[in-house]
Amino acid sequence: LATPVEMDTDVLQLLAKVVGRDDLIVDRDLMGAYETDATGRFGERALCIVRPSSSDEVADVLKVCGRASTRVVIQGGNTGLAGGGVPCDGEVVVRMDHLNEIASHEGDPWHLVAGAGATLAEVREAARKAGLEFALDFPARDSATVGGMVATNAAGPTALRWGPMRAQLAGLEAVTATGAVLSRLVPVSKDNAGYDWPALIAGSEGTLAVVTRARLRLHTPPAARDVFMIGAANYDDAVGLTSCLRSGLGSRLEALDFIDRPSVELVCATRRLREPLPATHGVYLVGTVLTEHEGDGPALELLARELPDLPDEAIVGAVDGAGRRRLWEYREAINEALRARGEVHKYDVSLPLQRLPSFAAGLTEDLARRPELAVYLYGHLGDGNVHVNLLGVTGFDRALDDLILERVASLGGSIDAEHGVGLAKRDHLGLTRTDAELALMRDVKRMLDPVGILGSGRVVVSEERP
Ligand SMILES: Cc1cc2nc3c(=O)[nH]c(=O)nc-3n(C[C@H](O)[C@H](O)[C@H](O)COP(=O)(O)OP(=O)(O)OC[C@H]3O[C@@H](n4cnc5c(N)ncnc54)[C@H](O)[C@@H]3O)c2cc1C
């Protein structure tokens, strides 16, 4: 799909007609912010940035690009960690921030309808104003958008209790690569009439359609939320505690994350925080317990009953807002602390919970041969989701990718848990998906995007263009 210069000029003029001159950015200096991502690893020169203001404008942008065979990448808040939302050379970046309207009480008081460009923080605030809550929350909340969250099927700590973004969807509006606007925003909670295409678009990382609006489920806020931190000697103990907490607390356990010792040390040094517990530990568990109704009994007492043998110095709890934020800060601040040290090489994987200790031990053994690397592990323990973060890797390191992702596959895990495949892991998709599954994915992609303009080369690579 080489694009001759004269065709680019035509495309730019046509795009300016669709979105207006002010929402077509071609100035190299202004484009820079949209061309690199939160990891600092991905992104090339874009042809231009366009900022449509409605679903119809999105459709017209895609029609213009489709006719010219000009590739497009969709960008929400650009907090993605898999390289899926930043341009490859010469792509048009479709930035979704103008589609940010939020409407509460749209036919169902337990739903809200949000534009793709609304941020997670804005959705949470709109839900709060309606006296309700949106289930998901994670540190990129001020920038991550509804469209990006649907596209990556984002999750975060509370997905343990409420499920990922796909589970929060009561309806969707999206535009296919050919410019067809698909709308399923009716205010019903159950809808089995025909194929569930919104479920297919969720997690498709901008390769099948552009999300323009979403009908999101809300829930009643719990009566209380208590936070705890527990120190475990090692991953075997951490997994044992997890099984105990999950079976003992059931649906009252809203979140259960883990942080390894190097990550705790990094956050303490960067944020100038005190040690979270009186003694040091190999692995730290941080979690939230809900009291859904008054009279359910204090959550932290229930927790103490479930863990009678835990020494006092290995557990701390918080019931007030400041205390809760303080304990979660050790987990939430890791990303930023790592980024401050340079380029971060990230793997977001999931494993059957019982195999997490083998994974961690194998990784330590493998990486001992690469002393230049600093390894930080944390993640959503209750879901078996591990974020492997490495400092000291320069550029792309295929041997390292193979080593880590093959180990995950050999233990029966998944090479991607919640961040997306994007460009980062597309060459490894075959490790955990069969040839038949990959062929189906390519067929679906070809059907919805026959010219191959949308997020091309991300997630699943077409056979013609390896
Ligand atoms: C500090 C930090 C913490 C994070 N924590 C978590 C976490 O706990 N859980 C988690 O799941 N993720 C987490 N992330 C990753 C990231 O925030 C999520 O993947 C988020 O969903 C991306 O949203 P975005 O709007 O920034 O999307 P972008 O980064 O802009 O794009 C991500 C992908 O979605 C596609 N896309 C974006 N908008 C649309 C649209 N409207 N239609 C179709 N495709 C679209 C893009 O093409 C790209 O493939 C974290 C990131 C950071 C920086």
pLDDT tens profile 106-136 = 788 899 999 999 999 999 999 999 999 999 9
Kindly give the distance from the C-alpha atom of residue 77 to the centroid of ligand 1, in angstroms, as a whole number. Answer: 7
Using most ligand atoms within 8 A of CB, pick from 152, 166, 173, 211 the residue to mutate for ligand 1. 152
| In contact, 156 and 163? CB cutoff 8 Å | no
pLDDT by residue (tens digit) across 246-287? Answer: 999 999 999 999 999 999 999 999 999 999 999 999 999 999
Question: Atom 36 in ligand 1: which residue has the minimum CA distance?
Answer: 148
Segment 391-395 mean pLDDT: 88
Kindly state the DSSP code that residue 319 receives in the 8-state scheme: -
State whether the beta carbon of 116 lies less than 6 angstroms from ligand 1.
yes
Kindly give the distance from the C-alpha atom of residue 306 to the centroid of ligand 1, in angstroms, as a whole number. Answer: 36
Segment 211-231 mean pLDDT: 95
| In contact, 442 and 456? CB cutoff 8 Å | no
> Residue 297: its pLDDT value, please?
73
Kindly give the distance from the C-alpha atom of residue 148 to the centroid of ligand 1, in angstroms, as a whole number. Answer: 5
Distances 406 to 398, 411, 412 between C-alpha atoms, Å: 12, 9, 10
Burial class of residue 254, CB neighbours in 10 A (0-12, 13-18, 19+): buried
Segment 345-368 mean pLDDT: 95
State whether the beta carbon of 423 lies less than 6 angstroms from ligand 1.
no
* Gap between the terminal Cα atoms of the chain: 14
| Atom of ligand 1 lying closest to residue 117 CA | 41
State whether the beta carbon of 83 lies less than 6 angstroms from ligand 1.
no
State whether the beta carbon of 176 lies less than 6 angstroms from ligand 1.
no
Tokens encoding 171: 């309806």
Kindly give the distance from the C-alpha atom of residue 254 to the centroid of ligand 1, in angstroms, as a whole number. Answer: 22
Using most ligand atoms within 8 A of CB, pick from 138, 207, 258 the residue to mutate for ligand 1. 138
Distances 366 to 23, 236, 358, 375, 428 between C-alpha atoms, Å: 49, 19, 12, 11, 19
Segment 212-229 mean pLDDT: 95
Q: What is the sign of the dihedral through the CA atoms of 284, 163, 457 and 359?
A: positive
> Residue 2: its pLDDT value, please?
40
State whether the beta carbon of 418 lies less than 6 angstroms from ligand 1.
yes
Residue 3's pLDDT band (boundaries 50, 70, 90)? Answer: very low
Tokens encoding 3: 């694009």
Tokens encoding 366: 């493998």
Segment 319-323 mean pLDDT: 89
Distances 296 to 161, 256, 263, 302, 443 between C-alpha atoms, Å: 17, 20, 35, 10, 50
| Helix H or strand E segment including 93 | strand 91-95
Kindly give the distance from the C-alpha atom of residue 6 to the centroid of ligand 1, in angstroms, as a whole number. Answer: 34
Q: Is the pLDDT of residue 169 over 80?
A: yes
> Residue 245: its pLDDT value, please?
93
Q: By C-alpha distance, which of 421, 419, 451, 455 is closest to 438?
A: 421
Question: Atom 21 in ligand 1: which residue has the minimum CA distance?
Answer: 149
Kindly give the distance from the C-alpha atom of residue 328 to the centroid of ligand 1, in angstroms, as a whole number. Answer: 21
Kindly give the distance from the C-alpha atom of residue 9 to the centroid of ligand 1, in angstroms, as a whole number. Answer: 31
Distances 58 to 14, 117, 221, 249, 275 between C-alpha atoms, Å: 13, 12, 35, 46, 49
Question: Atom 18 in ligand 1: which residue has the minimum CA distance?
Answer: 80
Kindly give the distance from the C-alpha atom of residue 166 to the centroid of ligand 1, in angstroms, as a whole number. Answer: 14
State whether the beta carbon of 174 lies less than 6 angstroms from ligand 1.
no
To the nearest whole number, what is the mean pLDDT of the chain?
Answer: 93
> Residue 463: its pLDDT value, please?
62
| In contact, 37 and 75? CB cutoff 8 Å | no
Q: Is the pLDDT of residue 452 over 70?
A: yes
Question: Atom 28 in ligand 1: which residue has the minimum CA distance?
Answer: 78
Kindly give the distance from the C-alpha atom of residue 80 to the centroid of ligand 1, in angstroms, as a whole number. Answer: 4
Q: By C-alpha distance, which of 91, 255, 280 is closest to 160?
A: 255
Kindly give the distance from the C-alpha atom of residue 78 to the centroid of ligand 1, in angstroms, as a whole number. Answer: 6
Give the orientation angle of helix 356-367 with respect to helix 398-410, to 10 degrees: 150
State whether the beta carbon of 75 lies less than 6 angstroms from ligand 1.
yes
Kindly give the distance from the C-alpha atom of residue 214 to the centroid of ligand 1, in angstroms, as a whole number. Answer: 15
State whether the beta carbon of 389 lies less than 6 angstroms from ligand 1.
no
What CA–CA distance (Å, rounded) separates 224 from 33? Answer: 40
Using most ligand atoms within 8 A of CB, pick from 35, 36, 57, 81 the residue to mutate for ligand 1. 81
0.85 surpassed by pTM: yes
